[in-house]
Every structure is written in structure tokens, then in C-alpha cells.
Amino acid sequence: MSITLHDVARVAGVSIKTVSNVIHDYPHIRPATRQRVEEAIVELGYTPNLTARNLRSGRTGAIALAVPDLSLSYFAELAGFVIQEAEKAGVVVLVEQTGADRRRELDLLRSPRLKLTDGMIFSPLGMGQEDLEALRVPYPLVILGERIFDGPVDHVTMRNVEGARAATEYLLASGRRRIAVVGAHRGEVIGSAGLRLRGYQEALLDAGIPVDETIIGYMRDWHRANGALAMRQLIDSGAEFDAVFGLNDTLALGAMRVLQEAGLRVPHDVAVIGWDDIDEAQYSIPSLTTVDPGSAWIARTAVHTLLDRVAHADRRDPPTLHLSDFRVVARESAPVAYPTVT
């Protein structure tokens, strides 16, 4: 049905191998022959069959990217970065959604569908440290995020503790003293929530401020609705606070909405800081102060780390850990300095 090497060879009057050689810039070809072949290629509109090429070479030129859900802005933006970076490297990206479901994540790791790819960048959200062995897979794998540490594979992630500490210190420096949290996970030690909460606690303790459990809002899923819900619960509880640390932007934006509905002025009465620096954070009202955890760098590094593994599959280099730099992005919801009461 479609044009193959044989067709080109027939038209050019050479063997298929010569055509293959021309395509691969094999040096010893007479200019006349090369030209005839090239003309035939153009004339027929030949493009190589990548499937066949892959079968021979064992490579597919595609990588998989598994994220919880593209409707979560953070992951959509991350996927965008990954695709962009992969394109530069001439590689194509196959996107899978796991729904943050542990079972589906585990299944995906063993899915035969991955045979179409050379390796995977995997951002687990349901699995945890207990599933570490499931990462021992027969293909190159790079994991993102903070659900699993010290696994048998390369890992690219952000400095959660340090970033959260910086976010908290930033609020403290601006004069806030009672900083509520939205989105904590009960009992979690590692994981985004656990680590960011730890950074928050460390900053408070360093400043000599006791950690007050009554202003820590727990919420499993980091959807905006949950940020709103947690905020409402905190307000209804009667607890007092002059700042809110949303463990991600989505939560923070949801929380901010409820604060405003409740008649609390942001940042006047309550300052709000988020985490992720998603696009939207620039445009909310007020715009959201947040921590930019270096997602673009993470995507870039993940792609390169993976492609490096693919290229050197023979080597058995030990797993590496890459940590991005973060940055507190000051915006209106928590300006650098603001009197608590005016």
C-alpha cells in the first residue's frame, strides 16, 4: 500500500541496500547513483517505515509519559514541557493518564503497551515507598515527584522541604505569624504534602513559633474544590490565622476564593502563598504569590536523563537523583512586606 525501499530501488534501478545506504549517508556511493536514488525518493514521496526500522534497531523513537491527569494544570504544563523537550531531541511522546490510582500505576509499569516506547517518564501519585520494587522494570524509567525515594531508577524532583521552608520564611518575614496550611496529608512523611509540611514546620520552629495543629487543613486530593473546602472548614472552626500556605497553587486558588467570599481581604487580612507557579497564578485576583519549583528544568532533565539511559542501555550506571532549584515568586496575594493590620 505505501511506498517502500523496494519501490524506490526499482525506479532508481539499484538494489534496496543502495537506497538504504543513500538514506543513511553511507559515504561510498557514486554521485550519479546517489542522485538517481534521491530523485526516485522525491518522485515517489518515500518515507521510511519506522515500525520496520524499529524492529531491526530495537528502538522506537518514542518515550512514554505517565501523569495522573491532564486536567490538573501542573501536569498539563509539565507534559507540555516534556513534549517540547523531546521534540528537540527528535523523540515523540506518548501520554498516559493514571488517575493517581495506585492500581493503575502499577499496571501501567507492566503494560505491554510500553513496548511501543524506549522508556518512560513516570509521575506516580498513588504508589508509595512500599511499591519500590515495582519500579524494577526491564526498560529505562525515570520517576518524578516525591512519592518514592531511593528507588532503583533515576529520579528527578524538586527541593520540597527547602522550598516550603522558604515559602514559610517569606510569610514570616512579611510579618505574618499564624500561617495556616491547606492540603496536608495526615501521617505522610515523604510525598509532596509530607515534605512541604516538614519545611513549613522547620521554618516555624526556627522562628520560635509553635506549630498549631488547629490551623493545618488536611485534604487528600489537590483539586481546587478541595482547597475551597479545607479553607471553609478552617474558617468555620473559628481558628485564627493571618496567612495561608496552599501546598499547591490549585489549593491556594480555591482557598483564596473562599477567603474572599467570607469577606476576608487578600492579602490585607490573610496573605496567601501557593506552590507550582502554574500559568494561572499570574492571573488570579489577586495574583498568587507562589513557589516556582523549576518544572521546566525538571521536564528537561527528565527527558535527557531518560534518553541517556536509552542510549547507554548497556551501561549499568547506578540510579541518579536530580533536584531542581526553586524560587519564591512574589505577587499580590502575599507581597514582600505588608502590615498585618492597618
Nearer to DNA, 58 or 238 (CB): 58
16 lies in the binding site for DNA (CB under 7 A): yes
Chain centroid, CA 267 distance in Å: 29
262 lies in the binding site for a second copy (CB under 8 A): no
Chain centroid, CA 117 distance in Å: 19
Nearer to DNA, 36 or 176 (CB): 36
Nearer to DNA, 19 or 143 (CB): 19
**3-state class of 38 per DSSP?**
helix
311 lies in the binding site for a second copy (CB under 8 A): no
Amino acid at the residue 54: N
109 lies in the binding site for a second copy (CB under 8 A): no
C-alpha cell at 228: 475551597
Chain centroid, CA 93 distance in Å: 14
Tell me the Cα Rg of the chain.
26
- The residue written with cell numbers 541496500 in the block is 17
Instruction: Look up residue 27 and give its DSSP letter.
Output: S
Nearer to a second copy, 57 or 129 (CB): 57
Residues recorded for the chain: 342
Pick the stretch among 8-16, 63-71, 186-194, 244-252 that binds DNA (CB under 7 A).
Answer: 8-16
- Could you give the residue ranges of the DSSP H alpha helices within the chain? 5-12, 16-23, 31-44, 50-57, 73-88, 102-109, 160-173, 192-206, 224-236, 249-261, 295-311
133 lies in the binding site for a second copy (CB under 8 A): no
Nearer to DNA, 41 or 135 (CB): 41
β-partners of residue 72 are none
Residues 20-49 as x/- pattern, contact with a second copy by CB under 8 A: ---------------------------xxx
Phi and psi for 264 in degrees, rounded to 5? -90, 135
113 binds, among a second copy, DNA, none (CB under 5 to 8 A by kind): a second copy
184 binds, among a second copy, DNA, none (CB under 5 to 8 A by kind): none
126 lies in the binding site for a second copy (CB under 8 A): no
Distance CA 237, CA 217 (A): 11
Closest CB 311 distance from a second copy, rounded Å: 15
Instruction: Tell me how far CA of residue 268 lies from CA of 2, 138, 229, 263, in angstroms.
Output: 67, 54, 21, 11
228 lies in the binding site for a second copy (CB under 8 A): yes
265 lies in the binding site for DNA (CB under 7 A): no
2 lies in the binding site for DNA (CB under 7 A): yes
Distance CA 62, CA 161 (A): 34
Pick the stretch among 12-20, 68-76, 210-218, 316-324 that binds a second copy (CB under 8 A).
Answer: 68-76
C-alpha cell at 58: 530495537
Member of 20, 33, 84, 340 binding a second copy (CB under 8 A): 84
C-alpha cell at 264: 476576608
Other CB atoms within a 10 A radius of the CB of residue 218 amount to: 18
48 lies in the binding site for DNA (CB under 7 A): yes
Crossing angle of the two packed helices 31-44 and 5-12, in degrees rounded to 10 = 130
- The residue written with cell numbers 509499569 in the block is 109
Give residues in contact with a second copy (CB under 8 A): 1-2, 47-52, 54-55, 58, 60-62, 69-71, 73, 76-77, 79-80, 83-84, 87, 92-97, 112-113, 115-116, 138, 224-225, 228, 253-254, 256-257, 260-261, 279-280, 282-285
Give residues in contact with DNA (CB under 7 A): 1-2, 4-6, 14-18, 20-21, 23-24, 26-30, 32-34, 46, 48-49, 52-53, 55-58
